[in-house]
Structure 1
Amino acid sequence: MNKTKCPVCEDLPRGPLCRTHRQELSNTLYELRLGLDELKRMERREVRHRGHGGGAASPAFPPAPMDMTAADLYDYAEDIIQDAAADIGLWGGKAPQVLDRLDDRLDRLADAPNSGRDYRNLTRTSRKVQQHITPPEDRIIHGPCLNPECRTQLAGLPDDTTSTCSKCGSIWAVAEVRRARRERLKGHTITGTPTQIAKWVRRSTGVPAKAQNVKDWLRRGQVPHGPRTGKGVYECDMGGLLAAVEETHPGVNLAA
């Protein structure tokens, strides 16, 4: 007997979710509940994000996809949540209450005809919320948009699997964006002290690399480099530097 295919696993528009994506849907509802609470705190200015050292947020980061205020994003998320609820006959109510009702009726939501669409919409919305509430110092730069007519820098969270361009709206696999960035810079070099090279890494990736990290990568042979061009001055392969820092994420333990 043929089993019904999961619309997320098989990239289909309709059908009941599999066990794995039912659990992920439950996690998404939980993350949305926490994220919307944080958005409300940001809207009331109870939470403010600053860059490293208490200064302004780093200008290296482009605006998040669908750049919104906390209030606008909250309203957008509430609309998405209520649309999903309507698919199983739940109408009205504020987002926190609707999320509780959806969690209580998770099986109905996962079995609904539009479960695939609702799963994707809720997951994307949760990601937008997470990006908005994440402090700038915890974000990283994945690389340029792969649209040759765009090339906007794509930024997000270390565990992103996809990224949406804030300018052209294209959606890309993060692994492919990073691979293309490494390939583009492979064979190109940067010359400087470990401090200067670490600064380039920070600007290029958003990862808080330090001079000691660069020294460790060089000592371990993780980064291709030529002979020293002066006292404490190295010529390093840029693609190799990106590979070293990307290999460190997630759960990076960079030197203080």
Structure 2
Amino acid sequence: MLRALRALGLAAVLTAGLTLTAAPAATAAPAAAPAASTRALTPIGGGTGIIFRITPSPEDRQSFYVCTLTAVGRDNAGNLVGLTNAHCFIDEKGNKLVGEKVYRDTSPAGTATAPADLNASRPDLETGAIGTVTYVSTPNNLLNTGPKGLDYAVIKLDETRVAPTATVGGVTISSIGAPPPNGTRMCKQGHRTGLTCGIKLGTHDIWFTHLIWTNGGDSGSPVVSGQTLVGNAWGAQHSSAILDIIAEMDANGGVGAGFHLAS
């Protein structure tokens, strides 16, 4: 997750996620969104940037957070579901923001050498809110003494607004599997720094470690070995195994249980 703050022309990155506070600008009133029956569906998938916790409103975004979707799939009830990191949806008081509306970030994805411009992050008002957060897991808590978690959030997506795509940027996801052996090259697609790659190093507690570069706003990025989704990245060169996340969703029940890639 990234929170970006823009005040007096200065931007401050606070975490692996991002919040931005932007100085208000004089703009024309936004055009009304097309009716659902006439609007083309917006493709989203693992690697799509998302924007949320927008204040005071999506039409006047002065403060917001950005992260990246891990994957889009269906659960055993047929719901279209998106996954990302839990810490994207936990506020400063530790409250889990179930019910939060999520938008697609319209800004272009960045690269490792030219990260996406946080000041350009804007919600896709034409598409509108693409989904609602239904579950927030225990976050990773790597840097504190809290309980260790897989750090994932479940988003029930609005099929009148979005459609799944297997390819975003430099990553195509065609299957789900376990992390590969140590030393194997893996990659991630994040909205902030795009496609970056590095070898798998090993394991640490309930997560696996690697040399894949991430930056604020990449939280939730899909980690792939070839075209196989193996994890979600949450920073500090750590990721949670996607099979562990799916197993926990299955045990919890509800939206996300039985998650599999959308066809």
TM norm. shorter chain > 0.5? no
| Larger helix percent | 1
Greater RCO between the two (CA within 8 Å, min separation 6)? Answer: 2
- Normalized against structure 2, the TM-score is what? 0.28
Q: TM-score, normalised by structure 1?
A: 0.28
Q: Highest CA radius of gyration, 1 or 2? A: 1
Structure number with higher strand proportion: 2
